[in-house]
Amino acid sequence: MKRTLQFAALLVFLLVPLQSIASASVPYKTETLSADGQTIETQTAYMPVGTLMPDAGITNPEDIFSDTNGNLYVADSGTKTIIVADKNGNRVREIGKGILKSPNGVYVDDKEKIYVADYEEEKVFRFASDGKVEAEFGKPDSPLFGKKSSFKPQKVAVDRRGNIYVISEGSTNGMIQLSNEGSFLGYYGVNSTEASFGSFLQKLLTSESKKARMFMKTPPAPDNIALDDQGLVYSVTEGTTNEVIKKLNVAGKNMLFENISEEKSLQDIAVDADGNMFVVSSTGEIYEYDSFGNLLFIFGGKDDGTNRLGLFKQPTGITIDPDGRLYVTDKERGLIQVFESTAFSNQVHKGIALFKEGRYVQSQKYWESVLEMNSSFGLAHSAMGSAYYKQQDYKRALEEYKFANDVYGYSDSFWEVRHAWMQENLETVLFIVMILVVLFFIMKAVDKRKGILDKPRSSLRAVKKQKLIGELLFLFQFFRHPIDSFYYLKRKNYASVLSATILYVVLIAEYIYSRFYTGFIYNTVGTEATLLGELLLLLVPLSLFIIVNYLVSTINDGEGRFKDIYIGTIYSLAPFLVFSIPITLLSNVLTYNEAFVYVFSIRIIYAWCLIILFIMIKEIHNYTFSDTVRNIFVTLFGMVIMLLVVFIVFVLIDQVYDFVYSIIKEAVLRV
C-alpha cells in the first residue's frame, strides 16, 4: 500500500524532478481562522512533495523567483551566482559568475531581463536572458537621496513601466525607486512608527525642546518586496507588529488593515495570479492570505533536527509559479522545498477567485464543498452569506453572516429583512397605534367626566406610599434634582441599604442582559465570554470603587459614611438602570447605518452616570470642586494599587501552595 501511494504521488508530480516523499502525512499542522476569529486546525492545504535541484550545488539560497513561464531563478550567495532552472526543475545555466559577490535578491521582468541586488557590490545588476550584463545601478547621486544614506541592496523588483524598487539595508524612508536608466525617482511605501500609550504620555508631558531629542524615532525599514500581475507592490517588515504586510497602491498607501498579523519575523512574500499572498517567517511558518487580507492557512514549521520535508531551519525566500507550486529556500540546509496545493485548498482558491470577481452565486458550490470538509471555515460562511444575499434569500444570508461574524454583511441582510417586514406589517402597526391613541383620548375624556380611574389612581398612590417602593422610586428624582436628591439621601434617609441592594441586583441583571442580548451588530461579547467573567467585570471595579473611595475619603476628611457611599453609588447609576434595557432592545432593530443612534445613546448614558457620580462624591463628602477632582484621582490610583496587592498576594499563595504540595508529595514518595 505504501509503495502504491508513493507511485501515485510520483505520477502526480511527474513534471517536476523531486525527491519522493516518505509518506502521505505531513510533519506540521495546517491552521485557519474559525468564524469567531480563533485559530483552528484544518485539513492539509499544501503538501511538501520534495526538493528542487538537490544536486545543483546550491549552498546558500537567499532568494527565489518564478517568471511567467515557470522558470526559476535562485540567488545563491554561496556560489555568488544566479542559478536558473526551467519549469521542470532542470538546471539550465548560471548567471553572474565572476561578477556578483553577494547576490541577495533576484527579479525577472516580462521582457526576461534579470535584476539582481548585490549587497556587497552595493549595486543592482541587470542581465539579459543569456546572462550578459546590460546595466549596473549604484548609489543614486541625486541630492534628494541623501549623501549620508547608504545603498546596500538586499531585494529588488521591477514594475511594468520599468521602474526599479530596491530594498536597501536600513532604508527607513521606504523602498528606493529608480527609473529604468537608474535615476532616483524617490522613496516609496515608507513604514509608520508604532504608537503606544507610553509614548503618548511622554509626548504629552514633555517640553518642545526635549521632544526634539527624545522622539527621533524612525520607522522600520521594509525587508522584502513582491509585485502582482496588476503592478501592485507588496512588502513585508520584520521586527514590528504594525503593518507587517503591506499592499501598496500607486500613491504608496497601504490597502490592507494595519493589524493583519502579529508575526514579527516575516522574511519574504509572493503573490499568485489571483492576488493571494504567501508569506514565510524565520520560524518556518508559511501564511497564506487572500487579496483582501483574510488569513486562509498557516502551515510549515521549524525543523526539529529530523530534516523532514515541510520543515525549515532558515527560510529566506518564497515564490509561486504559474501552476500554483510553492518554492521555499532554506539557507542553512542549502535546498529549496516544493509544495503542492491539495484538493481542499484548490476548492478554497476557486471559491475565492469567483468571490473576488463578484460572482458569488457561481462560487457557492465551492464554498459548500469547503464547508463539507470543514464546517468552521469562517471565510466560507461569509462567502455563502454573500451568495444567499445575491439570490435575495436574506434570512439564510443572515444566518451565514452571523456565523461568520460578518457585521457588515449581516447589517445589509438585516436591512432587507426589516424592510420586507415593514412593507407587510406597517399598515397593521399604524392601525393599532391609531386605535390605541383614540382609546386613550376617549378614556381620558370619560375619566374627566365620571372619574372611572379614580380608584386605580388611589391604589397606585397607596402603593407609592409604602416605604420600600418609595425608596426605589426615589431613583427618578436624580434625573431632575441630583444635588437635592443626595442631600435627602444623606440627611433625610430617603433611601436604605435594602433598597440600594435591590437596585444593585437590578443593575447586575440589566448589565448581564445588555452584554449578552445586545443586537449582533453592536455586541462586543466574544464567544468565549462566561457569566462569571462578566459578573467579575462589573462587580470587581464597582466594589473596589466603593471600598477605596471610603478609605480615601476617611483620610481626606470626607463626611460620607460607608453606607452613604454604598447607597449613593447605585443611585448615581440611575440613567443606566432606567435606559439600558430600552437601548438594548433598540440595538436589535438597528442596522450598521444607524449606529449613531445606538453609540450616541450609550455615550450619553455613561456621561450622565459619571456626572451624577461626581455630584455624589462632592455632596456626600461635602467637598469643593477641586477636592472632588483630587478625591477621584486618588480613588482610581488606590484601585490600581489594591488590584496589584491582591495579584501579588495571589501569586505568593499559589507559590506557597506549590511548595507545600511538592514537600507532601516528596514525603509520600519517600514513605
Q: Where residue 238 sits, what CATH number does that domain have?
A: 2.120.10.30
> What is the helix (H) or strand (E) element at residue 539, kind and residue range?
helix 531-555
Specify whether 130 is located in the same domain as 278: yes
With vertex at residue 429, the alpha carbon angle to CA 423 and CA 433, rounded to the nearest 5 degrees, is 150
Is residue 42 one of the residues assigned to a domain?
A: no
Specify whether 442 is located in the same domain as 476: no
Select from 461, 477, 493 the last residue of a domain: 461
Select from 290, 317, 341 the last residue of a domain: 341
Mean pLDDT score of the chain? 87
Give the residue from 269, 267, 266 showing the smallest Cα distance to 278: 269
pLDDT attached to residue 207: 52
pLDDT attached to residue 527: 67
pLDDT attached to residue 37: 78
pLDDT attached to residue 15: 39
Q: Own/partner pairs for 460-464, CB < 8 Å, 24+ apart?
A: none
Residues β-bridged to residue 479 = none
Q: CA 329 to CA 76: how far, in whole Å?
A: 10
Give the residue from 496, 461, 491, 495 showing the smallest Cα distance to 478: 495
Question: Mean pLDDT over residues 296-318, rounded?
Answer: 92
> What is the helix (H) or strand (E) element at residue 125, kind and residue range?
strand 123-127
Q: What is the pLDDT of residues 538-556, one digit of tens each?
A: 999 999 999 999 999 988 8
Q: CA 173 to CA 190: how far, in whole Å?
A: 5
Q: Is the dihedral angle over the CA atoms 46, 48, 53, 57 positive or is it negative? A: positive
Is residue 337 one of the residues assigned to a domain?
A: yes
Specify whether 296 is located in the same domain as 180: yes
**Cα–Cα separations (whole angstroms), residue 33 to 30, 42, 368, 379:** 11, 9, 17, 8
Select from 439, 461, 483 the last residue of a domain: 461
Cell of 366: 465551492
Q: Is the dihedral angle over the CA atoms 300, 303, 307, 308 positive or is it negative? A: negative
> What's the 3-state SS for 49-96?
EEEECCCCCCCCEEEEEECCCCCEEEEECCCCEEEEECCCCCEEEEEC
pLDDT of 413 strictly over 50: yes
Give the residue from 224, 249, 219, 421 showing the smallest Cα distance to 318: 224
Question: Mean pLDDT over residues 486-513, rounded?
Answer: 91
DSSP letters for 451-504: -TTHHHHHHHHHHHTSHHHHHHHGGGHHHH-HHHHHHHHHHS--S-HHHHHHHH
pLDDT attached to residue 499: 92
Q: CA 556 to CA 38: how far, in whole Å?
A: 49
Question: Mean pLDDT over residues 199-214, rounded?
Answer: 49
Q: For residue 217, what pLDDT band results from cuts at 50, 70 and 90? A: low
Give the CA dihedral 519, 524, 526, 527, nearest 10 degrees: 0
Is residue 335 one of the residues assigned to a domain?
A: yes
Q: For residue 446, what pLDDT band results from cuts at 50, 70 and 90? A: confident
In residues, how long is the chain?
671
Contacts of 249 (CB under 8 A, 6+ apart): 232, 255
Is residue 5 one of the residues assigned to a domain?
A: no
Q: What is the pTM of this model?
A: 0.78
Beta strands 311-312; 295-302: pairing state: parallel
Burial class (CB in 10 A: 0-12, 13-18, 19+), 72: buried
Question: Mean pLDDT over residues 551-580, rounded?
Answer: 91
Residue 477 near residue 507 (C-beta atoms within 8 A): no
Q: What is the pLDDT of residues 37-75, one digit of tens each?
A: 788 999 999 999 998 877 777 889 999 999 989 999 999
If one counts the domains in the chain, the total is 3
Specify whether 392 is located in the same domain as 484: no
Specify whether 368 is located in the same domain as 427: yes
Beginning with the edge strand found earlier in the chain, give each strand of the sheet holding 233-236 in spatial order: 224-227, 233-236, 245-248
Residue predicted with more confidence, 21 or 496: 496
CATH label of the domain that carries residue 390: 1.25.40
Give the CA dihedral 481, 486, 491, 497, nearest 10 degrees: 130
Q: For residue 195, what pLDDT band results from cuts at 50, 70 and 90? A: low
pLDDT attached to residue 200: 46
**DSSP 8-state code for residue 663:** H
pLDDT of 516 strictly over 80: yes
pLDDT of 221 strictly over 50: yes
Specify whether 515 is located in the same domain as 628: yes
Specify whether 387 is located in the same domain as 512: no
Tell me how far apart the terminal alpha carbons of the chain are, to the nearest angstrom.
Answer: 54
Specify whether 424 is located in the same domain as 475: no
Q: For residue 17, what pLDDT band results from cuts at 50, 70 and 90? A: very low
With vertex at residue 595, the alpha carbon angle to CA 295 and CA 361, rounded to the nearest 5 degrees, is 45
Is residue 520 one of the residues assigned to a domain?
A: yes
Q: CA 524 to CA 530: how far, in whole Å?
A: 13
Give the residue from 351, 345, 350 showing the smallest Cα distance to 387: 351
Question: Mean pLDDT over residues 1-19, rounded?
Answer: 40
**Cα–Cα separations (whole angstroms), residue 450 to 295, 440, 456:** 72, 15, 14
Give the residue from 104, 128, 101 showing the smallest Cα distance to 116: 104
Q: CA 101 to CA 76: how far, in whole Å?
A: 10
Buried b (16+ CB within 10 A) or exposed e, 396-431: ebbbbbbbbbbbebbbbbbbbeeeeeeeeeeeeeee
Question: Mean pLDDT over residues 392-410, rounded?
Answer: 91
Give the residue from 180, 186, 184, 150 showing the smallest Cα distance to 168: 150
pLDDT attached to residue 208: 52
Specify whether 66 is located in the same domain as 160: yes
pLDDT attached to residue 444: 85
Cell of 449: 367626566
Is residue 661 one of the residues assigned to a domain?
A: no
Specify whether 447 is located in the same domain as 515: no
Q: How many CA atoms lie within 13 A of 78 on its CB side?
A: 16
Is residue 593 one of the residues assigned to a domain?
A: yes
Q: What is the pLDDT of residues 71-119, one digit of tens each?
A: 999 999 999 999 999 888 888 899 999 999 999 999 999 999 999 999 9
Question: Mean pLDDT over residues 17-30, rounded?
Answer: 61
pLDDT attached to residue 80: 94
Specify whether 335 is located in the same domain as 412: no
Is residue 100 one of the residues assigned to a domain?
A: yes
Specify whether 441 is located in the same domain as 535: no
- Which residue range(s) make up the domain with 449? 356-461
**DSSP 8-state code for residue 648:** H
Q: For residue 206, what pLDDT band results from cuts at 50, 70 and 90? A: low
**Widest distance between CA atoms in the chain:** 113
Question: Mean pLDDT over residues 259-286, rounded?
Answer: 93
